[in-house]
Amino acid sequence: MKNHTGLLVECPGSYRPGVARQPKNFSIAGVSVEPLEPSGYLPVGHASAVPTRFEASLQLAQPEAAVTLEVFVGSDRRPVVIELTIRSKVRAPITTSMLRSVLVDQLVQAAIAEATVPASVRDEWLATLPPGLVSPIDAAGTSLAAPASSARGNAEEDARTAARIYQEALATGSRAPAVAVANSMNRSRAQVARYIRRARELGLLPALNSPKADGKEQ
């Protein structure tokens, strides 16, 4: 399989063999990906790499729907979907039958193909890290996860930023403060929902069952 750069992609083994042929009522019209923080890349084959965490947005032609996947790729190179959202239209509502036709394995395969980049992108990323953060194991590509403390720090910083924007939006009378956060931070609605949940956990925003809470995430 080739990605948009024309590079031959060696997809992780768990999604290459045994994947059923796409039925006639399933087709992917377009795919886009966005690496997520904490960022990192794993080598895939000899000349390519893939982000360790990324969000893939897929437009389906059949069934007519938009699907968003959050994908994690571990040191074993096996992509794992940790969040999936589907948005459809009134004329093609989400039903049990429609959900059966949304083939997750094929979606992941397409997402991995689009997310795969030349190995030089990973080399450039490694060059930006402080020397003490890159171990020989990291350089070999078997462990590229950022330190847990760094990941927690990034998550809390994003939550604080989201809480500030959320409160400012409420203060100006906005009925969709979460949308304001998404637009301001240039993040997906799914990411923003996680930021807001974390902000509530940190006490930066009222809990949903609090009298001070607005009662809904818009």
The structure tokens listed for 159 are 């939550």
Rounded mean pLDDT, 48-70: 92
- The pLDDT, as a whole number, for residue 81 is 92
- Per-residue pLDDT band for 210 (boundaries 50, 70, 90) equals low
- Helix (H) / strand (E) element for 72: namely strand 65-73
168 and 84 within one domain = no
- The pLDDT, as a whole number, for residue 91 is 85
18 and 122 within one domain = yes
pTM of the entire predicted model: 0.54
- Which residues constitute the domain of residue 189? 148-201
pLDDT above 70 as % of the chain = 72
- Count of domains in the chain? 2
192 and 169 within one domain = yes
180 and 129 within one domain = no
More confident residue, 213 or 39: 39
**Domain assignment of residue 208, yes or no:** no
**Domain assignment of residue 211, yes or no:** no
63 and 118 within one domain = yes
Rounded mean pLDDT, 16-27: 59
**Domain assignment of residue 55, yes or no:** yes
- Per-residue pLDDT band for 209 (boundaries 50, 70, 90) equals low
Distance CA 105, CA 200 (A): 34
